[in-house]
Amino acid sequence: MRLVSLELSGFRGFPQRHSFDLDADAVVVVGANGHGKTSLFDGILWALSGRIPRLQNDDTRLVSMYSDSGQARVALRLKDPATGGQLTVTRSFDGREGRVALETREGSYQGPAAEERLIDLVWPDAASASDPREALASVLTLSVYLQQDLIRQFVEAASVQDRFAAVSELVGAGRVTELQGSLERAKKAWSTVTNQRQDELRPLRERLTVIEARLSELTARASQASPAITPEAWGQWWHSLSALGLKAVQVEAASREAPTAIDNAIKQLDALGRSAERRLQALGATQTEIAGLANRPMPEIPPLRDKVTTLRKQLEDLKRVVTEEQARLAELRRHQATLKEKTEQLKALAVLALKHLADHCPVCGQTYDKEATRLRLEAIAKGGVGDTETVPGPEKLTELLAALAAKENEAAAAELALRSSEQAVNERQMAQQTISKRLSELGVIGSDDESRDATVAKAVGEANALIGRVGELQRIGESLALRLAHSSAVAAIDELRREAATLRRENAHREKVISARNRTGERAQGVIEALREAASAVVEERLREIAPLLQSVYARIDPHPAFRLVRFFSRVVRGKGQLFTVVSDPIGEKECDLPAAVLSSSQVNALAVSVFLALNIGVPKPPLSVAILDDPLQSLDDINLLGLVDLLRRTKDRRQLFVSTHDGRFGSLLSRKLRPSSQEGRTIVIEFDGWSRQGPIVVTREVKCDPVRLRLVSSLAG
Amino acid sequence: MTESSPAFTPTDLIAAASQVLSAGGYHPIRQTFPEWDTPTSRLFEDEYNVVGIVVFDTCAELLRTWPDQQGSLVEVISRHVGQGESKSWDGYLVLLTPSLAPSEGTEIEALRYNTTRLRKIVATGDDLRTPTDVERVVRPLLPLGQEQARPSQESALDLLPKLLADQGISKETTRLLIEAFREQSPLLERLHQEGGE
């Protein structure tokens, strides 16, 4: 594939549209720095790969600051010399979004389809790369487009690993490395899933362990199990329940419902037994009460009532006597008070009379016995003379009150006795009623006490019998339930054995699957290890194939008087490939894998260009039959420069050659050296004569071949 | 001046150089030009270059007489190639001697870097120890096609079955993996199936 033309607009140093005819064996681009040489070559790289790694793949840097449209656009036309088929790739970027289109003889493609088809046409080997465009850009950068900024990077700055990776990509071993990487990732994912499967197996194994332990336990118990239930015993028990009036539903002993049914039946029996016991307790209590009632004496109420009546009458009489006596004593106390008042008055009069005692009565004037009167008055004044009389005291009342109290006590006692007797009678009647009611509730009815007692005694006997029967049936039922449980345990053992067998099969199957997955993982690891070696082997093989060419190219420049041999040396360290560029002195038998240590800057440049051209020419399936060298003549001394130019001239015979230089003299040298060797050949010189905001001033001219191909030979022939 | 025993005779060198240049597409100029008439010299031409080869017995002779040889070759070129023709700038003088001359090493090296009038390609017995060394010395004048590597056209992935087989991986396994890789199919599943798992 060769380049035919390039159209740039708004792209880097080309703000306005510029078209370039590139359909030549050699294109020499001459221009001062900053006039657009690198932009021209970047346009080719970007059109092909959509990437310019040197610019960190930042497309916003591609749009020219002076672009009227604000859009960078590149259209590159290529052709296949073998078929004559042409294709045009057009790529644009408007500052936000990139577009790509591809025109071929077969049809037009846009977007991803265009990218895919372009890769397929230019570098099919990149199609299987994780990032085909990146892989293509890498290969183009390493073997097609030697960029001015990166001219020495490969031999000087790149790490041995990066160098190995770059060459791996170039010689196709990049696919091997990617296969290895893919396989490593796939194996990791595979191992993760396998480990998950392993983890998922753990619950199954734990379940199996539990089941086996349970099985062991049940099996040990089953060996001590009771004899099996006979249908007769089973049926008889259920019949007995029916006979007791229980509504238990009989099921088959071997049925799954049997444990539940017998459990329900035993519960009914238990309820019946408890009911019978409560009845027995009630009957027993009633019997006790009847017996207590019979032993209790029946008091005589009428005599007690007569006595109370008598005592109440006597008490009333006595109270009346007491009242009368109390009235009499009151009257007597009033009389005595009157007398006492009179005495006091007399004493006052006596005192007055004594005070005024004279010979004659002041009232009547009569004479009187004064002495006797005085004595008399004095006696009255002293209170010793009056109408006092002796009256009976309160002794009689006291006696009466004592008698009254005694009578009241007697009457109260009699009334109490009466009330007690009446209460006892009432209580007996109530007890009788209660007993009757309770017996009625218990269904025990007797016409009289005697028959009632017998009936109660009979009921007690029946209750005792029922309790005993229920207890017996409970024991039998529990025995049946236990035997039933043993039977269930045997069934459970069978079930567990089946489940254990299923789990063992499942476990074995899964272990087999996991084991198979592990084997696959181990095989993958083996392949991975082998691929590591293989990637290196591929690189070594390819480099071994390229080695003579590299030496040939290097020898053409022959930059160093002693270090005249060059070779690649690769090795794998800890799974990572390393690539060294080794220069050696065959005569002095010296060798150095760091060329910059023994070569001058100019010589390193010459070596770098040699490596580039060796890789360009030596790559098995080049993406393009093109070699683009952006200003490779910098820092070269005369001899190296001439050697390189001669080399480029020979390269022109193998590759469509693009070389730029910032030096006009070198430009002249290149155009002369790269002249076509015949009329069929074509060499173009593109000169950038200055640059303005509209872009460079472009002058294109063609270089003619010499008029006579072999001048000396022909002159002799002539 | 001390000189060790040379590996080649001047005749060997002129023959080897002539053979290499002829094989590289150069046309030997059989007839002699009056300006270029030295017994141990040859003149060649291809579409780009005019090459004069001169073999000397010793380094001393080489260092002493090379300017005369250069003058002769320049005279031939200027006489027969037009000044406007590019080839008039493309004359090469190849100066060879089988003798070993460590003492003249510096002068020889200086001559190598002398680009006045013609580019000089110089080699002494130090450089010419095996027959292939002659080819290496004149290689800058040869087309690339003569020594271009012929790398395998197989892709690296296609090489893998054989490479991995050497490490115990069956070719069928490798092919299946490569196929899955190209199809972007799950690699381990393919490997698993291939293993009959």
Asked if A643 reaches chain B (Cβ–Cβ under 8 Å), the answer is: yes
B22: distance to nearest CA of chain A, Å? 14
Kindly state the percentage of chain A with pLDDT values over 70: 95
Q: Is B19 on the interface with A (CB under 8 A)?
A: no
Instruction: State the span(s) of chain B assigned CATH 3.40.1350.
Output: 10-146
Per-residue pLDDT, averaged over A304-309, amounts to 92
H-run or E-run covering A485: helix A449-557
Q: Is the pLDDT of residue A70 over 90?
A: no
Say which residue, A54 or A477, is predicted with more confidence.
Answer: A477
Question: How many C-beta atoms lie closer than 10 Å to residue A651's C-beta?
Answer: 24
CB contact under 8 A, B197 and A542: no
Residue A359 burial by CB count (10 A; 0-12/13-18/19+): exposed, middle or buried?
A: exposed
| CATH topology for the B10-146 domain | Trna Endonuclease; Chain: A, domain 1 (3.40.1350)
The two structure tokens encoding residue A251: 């099921």
- Other CB atoms within a 10 A radius of the CB of residue A46 amount to 27
For residue A265, which of A482, A481, A485, A486 has the smallest C-alpha distance? A481
Nearest CA of chain A to the CA of B15: how many Å?
Answer: 20
* One-letter amino acid for residue A624 of the chain: L
Chain A, 114-133: which have a CB under 8 Å from a chain B CB?
125, 128
Looking at beta carbons, which residues of chain B come within 8 Å of A521?
188
Q: Note the pLDDT of residue A191.
A: 94
Q: What's at A319, amino acid-wise?
A: K
* pLDDT of the residue at A428: 86
Task: Determine the average pLDDT of the residues in B101-128.
Answer: 85
Closest Cα in chain A to B143? A650
Is residue A667 classed as helix, strand or coil in its secondary structure? helix
User: How is domain A2-157+623-717 classified at the architecture level of CATH?
Assistant: 3-Layer(aba) Sandwich (3.40)
148-177 in chain B: CB under 8 A from chain A: 148-157, 159-160, 163-164, 167-169, 173-174, 177
Query: How far B162 CA lies from chain A's nearest CA (Å)?
Result: 10
CB of B39 less than 8 A from some CB of A: no
For residue A413, pLDDT over 50 is answered with: yes
Do A273 and A475 form a contact (C-beta atoms < 8 A)? Answer: no
- For tokens 């035919």, what's the residue? A4
Q: What CA–CA distance (Å, rounded) separates A137 from A140? A: 5
Position B1 scores a pLDDT of 38
pLDDT band at residue A385 under the 50/70/90 scheme:
low
d(CA A535, CA A517): 26
Least confident of A320-324, A372-376, A463-467: A372-376
- For residue A300, how many C-alpha atoms fall within 13 Å in the half-sphere facing its CB? 5
Whether residue A560 contacts residue A198, with contact meaning beta carbons closer than 8 Å, is answered with no
Contacts of A176 in chain B (CB under 8 A): 156-157, 160
Smallest Cβ–Cβ distance between B169 and the set A186, A190, A530 belongs to A530
- pLDDT of residue A573 exceeding 90, the answer is no
Contacts for A218 with CB less than 8 Å, ≥ 6 apart: A489, A492, A493, A496
CB contact under 8 A, A531 and B159: no
Q: Is the dihedral of CA A367, A370, A374, A380 positive or negative?
A: negative
Q: In this complex, is the C-beta atom of B143 within 8 Å of any C-beta atom belonging to chain A?
A: yes
Q: Which residue has the tokens 């209460």?
A: A423
Q: Flag whether the pTM goes above 0.80.
A: no
**Length of chain B measured in residues:** 197
Q: Are A207 and A500 in contact (CB under 8 A)?
A: no
Confidence band of A582 (pLDDT split at 50, 70, 90): very high
Contact yes or no for B187 and A533 at CB 8 A: no
61-100 in B: which are within 8 Å (CB) of A?
76, 80-82, 85-87, 89-90
Closest in A530, A587, A672 to B126, CB measured: A587
B interface mutation test: which of A130, A519, A520, A617 has the most B CBs within 10 A? A520
SS (H, E, C) A200-255: HHHHHHHHHHHHHHHHHHHHHHHCCCCCCCCHHHHHHHHHHHHHCCCCCCCCCCCC
The secondary structure of chain B in percent helix, strand, coil, rounded to multiples of 5, reads 50, 15, 40
Q: What pLDDT sits at residue A41?
A: 92
Note whether A538 contacts B86, CB cutoff 8 Å. Answer: no
Give A363's DSSP letter: T
Between positions 426 and 455 of A, the ones with CB within 8 A of B are none
- pLDDT tens string A192-238: 999 999 999 899 999 999 999 988 888 887 776 667 788 888 999 99
The structure tokens listed for A67 are 């672009």
Tokens describing residue A285: 């209590």
Flag the least confident range among A113-122, A356-365, A510-519: A356-365
pLDDT band at B5 (very low <50, low <70, confident <90, very high): low
- Cβ proximity of B69 and B111 under 8 Å: no
Q: Look at B149 and A549 and tell me if their CB atoms are within 8 Å.
A: yes
Cβ-based neighbours of A279, under 8 Å, separated by 6 or more: A442, A459, A463
Q: Is B117 on the interface with A (CB under 8 A)?
A: no
User: Is residue A556 less than 8 Å (CB to CB) from chain B?
Assistant: yes
Q: Is the pLDDT of residue A168 over 80?
A: no
Of A174, A524, A677, the CB nearest to B191: A524
Query: In chain A, whose CA is at the least distance from the CA of B160?
Result: A534
pLDDT at A106 over 90: no
